[in-house]
């Protein structure tokens, strides 16, 4: 069996790859593995289960709840809430497991199952591996040990989760947003109600788009992967800024008053300076990934802030932050982690903190983001190839070496396999956009021919 868990839980086409049987089996396996690890020792275990609005989330939620309850875990259903809300509530309620059903920015037919440990932190790789092993053992015939009578889990709805999460967001803001006009694109996703409520309670004038989820329209031409609607809306309404989330609202991209995109690197740059000013940027360090724009690194060096770079994936950013005690980290894609207030990327919190900086300084978002110059960076996704051979193909290695010689010290090349989709990402950075596009196009062609 290939590894089920990717960089962000188990994902696939709902009811094809990710079936009710798989969701149920993984939930039972997770309960058994965490029980083995001593997580439940001395008390009756509890789980928090949430989902995004995808239609498939309804039956997958039922499967996960059934699996956990059948393994003797009491379940609190929090309904449609962002991934970071489920992580927060797992910690705040002292639950032993958190489960989020979402495929984040993926298209509607996909879905995913993500587990959180006590405290709301992502499961360690070794626990995910153990869950897979236990799941496979029982899938092929070994019977589960099942509680009966009063030992089975009880299921209840926790409607207070919405207000408790919004109150948490408001409570950690350094200042109010009075006087700001903000457009929010909710991607018809999990934050469609939470994010507008939080911004409004914080004092902003709020205009929403993509905030009418029907189970089928999540991420459909809107949200952080499709910024054109938000850019137009910000200009049309004369807003100070726009905030875009993805389907499960663990990421945030922004748009300034002129409709120009502000990516995750620029958001990190703005927040790093704000947190250092407030004495909250521990060790004067921010954590990024190998995809971080070279302009971000240059700007941080100029400002006396160290940039630590990890592998791509917010889990690796988080691991570095927790290991070294750093307070801020994130990805260019808009996953931003403020570890004092969240255990995972939180798009609503990020947007609120960015808006708070605009309100506090009186400067425009464009002026604040101008602390860094974003060097041209071209990303090409090459689908339907054998991504596992990226690092072993001699033909590809030769093409990359040639590209690096051509770019010299003013650019770089990065090839990596997607952790959530069957494709290879080709990234080329150069001082000149046309050169970056040309090199990326050539490399993409080599990837197709070598790995196709």
Torsion angles phi and psi, residue 366, rounded to 5: -60, -40
Beta-sheet strands, E only, within 86-236: 97-101, 110-116, 155-157, 181-185, 205-209
Spatial contact of 155 and 213, defined as CB atoms under 8 Å apart: no
Q: What are phi and psi of 353, to 5 degrees?
A: -70, -35
Q: Measured between alpha carbons, how far is 64 from 97 in angstroms, rounded to an integer?
A: 12
- DSSP tag of 215: S
* Burial of 302 (C-beta count, 10 Å sphere; 0-12/13-18/19+): exposed
Q: Residue 168, Cα to own-chain centre: how many angstroms?
A: 19
Q: Rounded to an integer, what distance in angstroms lies between the CA atom of residue 393 and that of residue 231?
A: 41
17 annotated ligand-binding residue: no
**Rounded Cα gap, residues 241 and 261, in angstroms:** 10
Least Cα distance to 51 among 3, 10, 99, 6 occurs for: 99
- Radius of gyration (C-alpha) of the chain in whole angstroms: 22
Q: Residues 6 or more apart from 248 whose CB is under 8 A from it? A: 52, 82, 83, 100, 102, 103, 104, 189, 190
Residue 246 assigned as binding residue: yes
Residue ranges with strand state E in 228-365: 241-245, 252-256, 261-262, 285-289, 306-310, 328-330, 336-338
Is 248 marked within a binding site? yes
Task: Determine whether the annotation assigns residue 240 to a binding site.
Answer: no
What residues are paired with 97 via a beta bridge?
47
DSSP summary character for residue 222? -
Q: Which of 27, 104, 224, 333 is catalytic?
A: 104
Q: Cα angle at 326 between 364 and 313, to 5 degrees?
A: 80
Active site includes 156? no
- The answer to whether 170 and 199 have CB atoms below 8 angstroms apart is no
Please give the positions annotated as active site. 104
Binding-site residues for Mg(2+), please? 104, 246, 248, 250
Binding-site residues, please? 104, 246, 248, 250
């Amino acid at each position: 069996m290939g590894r089920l868990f990717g960089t962000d839980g188990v994902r696939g086409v709902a009811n094809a790859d990710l079936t009710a049987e798989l969701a149920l089996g993984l939930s039972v396996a997770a309960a058994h593995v965490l029980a083995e690890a001593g997580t439940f020792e001395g008390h009756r275990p509890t789980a928090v289960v949430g989902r995004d609005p995808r239609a498939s989330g309804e039956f997958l939620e039922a499967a996960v709840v059934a699996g956990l309850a059948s393994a003797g875990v009491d379940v609190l259903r929090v309904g449609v809430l962002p991934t970071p809300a489920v992580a927060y509530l797992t910690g705040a309620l002292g639950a032993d497991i958190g489960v989020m059903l979402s495929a984040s920015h993926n298209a509607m037919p996909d879905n995913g199952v993500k587990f959180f440990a006590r405290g709301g932190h992502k499961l360690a790789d070794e626990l995910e591996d153990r869950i897979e092993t236990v799941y496979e053992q029982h899938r092929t015939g070994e019977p589960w040990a099942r509680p009966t009578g009063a030992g089975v889990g009880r299921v209840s709805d926790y409607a207070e989760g919405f207000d408790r999460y919004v109150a948490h967001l408001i409570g950690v803001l350094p200042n109010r947003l009075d006087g700001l006009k903000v457009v929010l694109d909710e991607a018809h996703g999990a934050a469609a109600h939470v994010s507008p409520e939080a911004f409004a309670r914080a004092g902003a004038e709020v205009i929403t788009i993509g905030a009418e989820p029907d189970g089928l329209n999540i991420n459909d031409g809107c949200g952080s992967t499709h910024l054109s609607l938000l850019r137009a809306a910000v200009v049309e309404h004369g807003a100070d800024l726009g905030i875009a989330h993805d389907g499960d609202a663990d990421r945030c991209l922004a748009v300034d008053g002129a409709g120009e995109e502000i990516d995750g690197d620029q958001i990190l740059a703005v927040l790093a300076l704000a947190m250092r000013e407030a004495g909250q940027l521990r060790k004067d360090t921010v954590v990024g990934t190998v995809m971080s724009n070279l302009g971000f690194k240059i700007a941080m060096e100029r400002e006396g802030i160290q940039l630590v770079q990890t592998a791509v994936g917010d889990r690796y950013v988080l691991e570095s932050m927790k290991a070294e005690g750093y307070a801020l980290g994130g990805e260019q894609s808009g996953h931003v982690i403020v570890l004092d207030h969240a255990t995972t990327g939180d798009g609503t919190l990020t947007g609120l903190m960015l808006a708070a900086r605009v309100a506090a300084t009186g400067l425009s978002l464009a002026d604040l983001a101008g602390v860094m110059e974003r060097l041209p960076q071209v990303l090409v996704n090459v689908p339907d190839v054998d991504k596992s051979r990226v690092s072993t193909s001699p033909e590809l290695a030769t093409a990359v070496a040639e590209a690096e010689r051509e770019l010299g010290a003013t650019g770089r090349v990065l090839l990596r396999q997607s952790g959530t989709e069957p494709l290879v990402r080709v990234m080329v950075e150069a001082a000149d956009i046309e050169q970056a596009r040309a090199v990326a196009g050539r490399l993409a062609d080599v990837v197709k021919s070598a790995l196709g």
